[in-house]
């Protein structure tokens, strides 16, 4: 399995959740689903969760060490692969897909023998369709956009960009059907966007290139891009991200 991890936040049953998952697996489903048909979990009750029910600073080193030991032991026992972690409502849950289950309990006993002070439950069940990965760990289109937003913001920040300074932010939308192109252009203009030349991607799909003066700060760009995803979807189109130039200085 390819190793390519992402971290993001979402709401689970009305509670904030921190999700970390191996995104690289998604390109290998056809090869691995039948090899690892069982989902397994180790659910640990946190001793000192923060006020949001997430991992607190004091407890983080111990939980991360437990995570590393679990993953190393999974490799040692050769029964499966670590695919993700969910932290929410005062618990951390480590998730694995198993090739074999006959030595699962040996794996648990070996790995967690030094963590008797923690309240831990574990188990496994069939999941040949990988629903836990696809529906719990894997982000929606909007959640993926937030991940990408924050990566761009982090890169800008590393270049000493002042994210609070407004500047031209350029966006792209690709059309699944040209029937609603003019209506989409009209809706974008109504929201204050300026149209640039039409574009075509490498697959020959036509699209729109447009911009507006906005701030690329985290929550500002999140709100903007989520609204553009909805606007594009309403016009049978798909939002394809944004870019901008570095702007330094003070407000």
Q: What is the pLDDT of residues 194-204, one digit of tens each?
A: 999 999 999 99
- Cβ neighbourhood burial of 150 (10 Å; 0-12, 13-18, 19+): middle
- Residues 6 or more apart whose CB falls under 8 angstroms from that of 171 comprise 193, 209, 210, 211, 225, 228, 239, 240, 241, 242
**pLDDT in the model for residue 2:** 67
Identify the pLDDT of residue 247.
96
For residue 120, name the pLDDT band (cuts at 50, 70, 90): very high
What are the strands of the beta sheet with 91-98, ordered from one edge? Answer: 5-12, 15-22, 80-88, 91-98, 38-45, 120-126
pLDDT at 29 over 90: no
Report whether pLDDT(177) > 90: no
pLDDT score of 1? 59
Mean pLDDT of 133-149: 95
- CA-to-CA separations, 186 to 182, 183, 192, 249, in angstroms, rounded: 6, 5, 10, 35
Residue 187: is its pLDDT beyond 90? yes
Q: What is the mean pLDDT of the chain?
A: 94
Rounded distance, CA 152 to CA 132, Å? 29
H helix or E strand, kind and range, residue 185: helix 181-190
pTM: 0.85
Q: Which helix (H) or strand (E) holds 243?
A: strand 237-244
Q: What is the DSSP track for 192-207? A: T-EE---EE-TTS-EE
pLDDT of 77-119, one tens digit each? Answer: 999 999 999 999 999 999 999 999 999 999 999 999 999 999 9
Picking from 28, 39, 143, 29, the residue whose alpha carbon sits closest to that of residue 84 is: 39
Q: What's the average model confidence in pLDDT over 49-71?
A: 96
**Could you tell me the sign of the dihedral formed by the alpha carbons of 36, 40, 42, 43, in that order?**
positive
Return the ∠ at Cα 10 (arms to 165 and 39), rounded to 5°. 145
Q: What is the mean pLDDT of residues 230-239?
A: 97
pLDDT above 90 for 26:
no
Structure confidence at residue 193 (pLDDT): 98
Full set of structural domains in the chain with CATH: 5-137 (3.30.70), 141-244 (3.30.70.970)
Report pLDDT for 84: 96
d(CA 87, CA 49): 10
């Amino acid at each position: 399995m390819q190793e390519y991890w992402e971290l993001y936040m979402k709401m689970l049953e009305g509670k904030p959740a921190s999700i970390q998952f191996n995104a690289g697996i998604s390109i290998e489903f056809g090869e691995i689903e039948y090899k690892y048909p069982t989902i397994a979990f180790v659910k640990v009750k946190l001793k000192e969760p923060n006020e949001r029910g997430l991992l607190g600073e004091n407890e983080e080193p111990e939980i991360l060490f437990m995570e590393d030991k679990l993953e190393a032991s999974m490799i040692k026992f050769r029964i499966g692969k670590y695919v993700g972690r969910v932290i929410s409502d005062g618990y951390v849950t480590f998730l694995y897909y198993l090739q074999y289950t006959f030595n699962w309990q040996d794996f648990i006993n070996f790995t967690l023998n030094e963590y008797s002070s923690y309240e831990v439950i574990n188990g496994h069940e069939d999941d040949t369709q990988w629903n836990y990965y696809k529906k719990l760990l894997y982000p929606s289109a909007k959640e993926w956009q937030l991940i990408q937003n924050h990566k761009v913001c982090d890169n800008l920040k590393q270049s000493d960009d002042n994210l609070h300074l407004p500047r031209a932010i350029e966006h792209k939308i690709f059309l699944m059907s040209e029937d609603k192109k003019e209506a989409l252009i009209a809706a974008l203009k109504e929201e204050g966007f300026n149209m640039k030349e039409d574009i075509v991607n490498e697959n020959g799909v036509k699209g729109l290139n447009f911009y507006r003066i906005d701030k690329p700060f985290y929550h500002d760009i999140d709100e903007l891009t989520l609204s553009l995803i909805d606007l594009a979807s309403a016009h049978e189109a798909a939002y394809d991200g944004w870019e901008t130039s570095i702007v330094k200085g003070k407000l």
